């Protein structure tokens, strides 16, 4: 399965300095055990159960610094990047990242359709989750994408796999997201825009 669309998303959503940050991330030390993966020096931690296998993220997405797979058909990817910092311009929120991402996916993925979308609270940080499906070449793919804007960083978290295993993918993504921690983040609440009730975006059943 190809992930070119997500590389495109990062180019559109985040600053042009991303490549330098990605190079720095490649040099960071990572400690991994069968059940817990910790990126030392990075801004998050996440845990997976032994049914997942840690992968080299670069073949999937050059901006990603963590990837895992299950049965060689379910995939999980974390892409942390610095948010654009422009004078007198508010930094993007998780909702901004999600809306821009969905717009690009609608254009790049054939028959793309959103099933559920809405706010998610993980480790005191308010994010946005989208459950969707579409076709890439001959494959019918299920997607679970989640977005956070924490401090100066934006996070795109992507899980995907065959549509036929969509229920399993959703459960696995939910379990992994529940372990996500931002140890250096302020516990201040996200901006109200992240929970825009008037946007017509319905709540997804995520922790």
Please write the tens of the pLDDT for every residue from 62-100. 989 899 999 999 999 999 989 988 888 888 999 999 999
pLDDT tens digits, residue range 13-49? Answer: 433 233 344 444 444 444 444 446 655 446 888 988 8
Tell me the average pLDDT of the chain: 78
Question: Locate tokens 């809306």: which residue?
Answer: 99
pTM of the model: 0.75
Sign of CA dihedral 143, 148, 149, 154: negative
What count of Cα atoms within 13 Å lies in the side-chain half-sphere of residue 174?
11
């Amino acid at each position: 399965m190809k992930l070119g669309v997500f590389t495109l998303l990062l180019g559109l959503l985040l600053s042009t300095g991303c490549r330098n940050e990605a190079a720095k991330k490649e040099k960071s030390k990572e400690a991994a055990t069968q059940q817990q993966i910790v990126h030392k020096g990075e801004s998050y931690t996440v845990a997976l159960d032994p049914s997942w296998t840690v992968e080299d993220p670069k073949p999937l997405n050059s901006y990603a610094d963590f990837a895992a797979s299950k049965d060689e058909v379910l995939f999980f990817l974390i892409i942390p990047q610095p948010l654009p910092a422009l004078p007198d311009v508010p930094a993007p929120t998780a909702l901004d990242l999600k809306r821009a991402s969905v717009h690009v996916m609608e254009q790049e993925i054939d028959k793309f359709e959103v099933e559920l979308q809405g706010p998610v609270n993980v480790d005191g940080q308010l994010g946005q989750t989208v459950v969707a499906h579409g076709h890439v070449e001959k494959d019918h793919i299920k997607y679970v994408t989640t977005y956070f804007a924490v401090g100066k960083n934006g996070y795109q978290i992507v899980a995907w796999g065959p549509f036929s295993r969509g229920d399993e993918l959703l459960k696995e993504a939910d379990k992994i997201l529940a372990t996500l921690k931002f140890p250096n983040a302020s516990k201040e609440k996200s901006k109200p825009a992240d929970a825009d009730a008037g946007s017509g975006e319905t709540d997804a059943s995520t922790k």
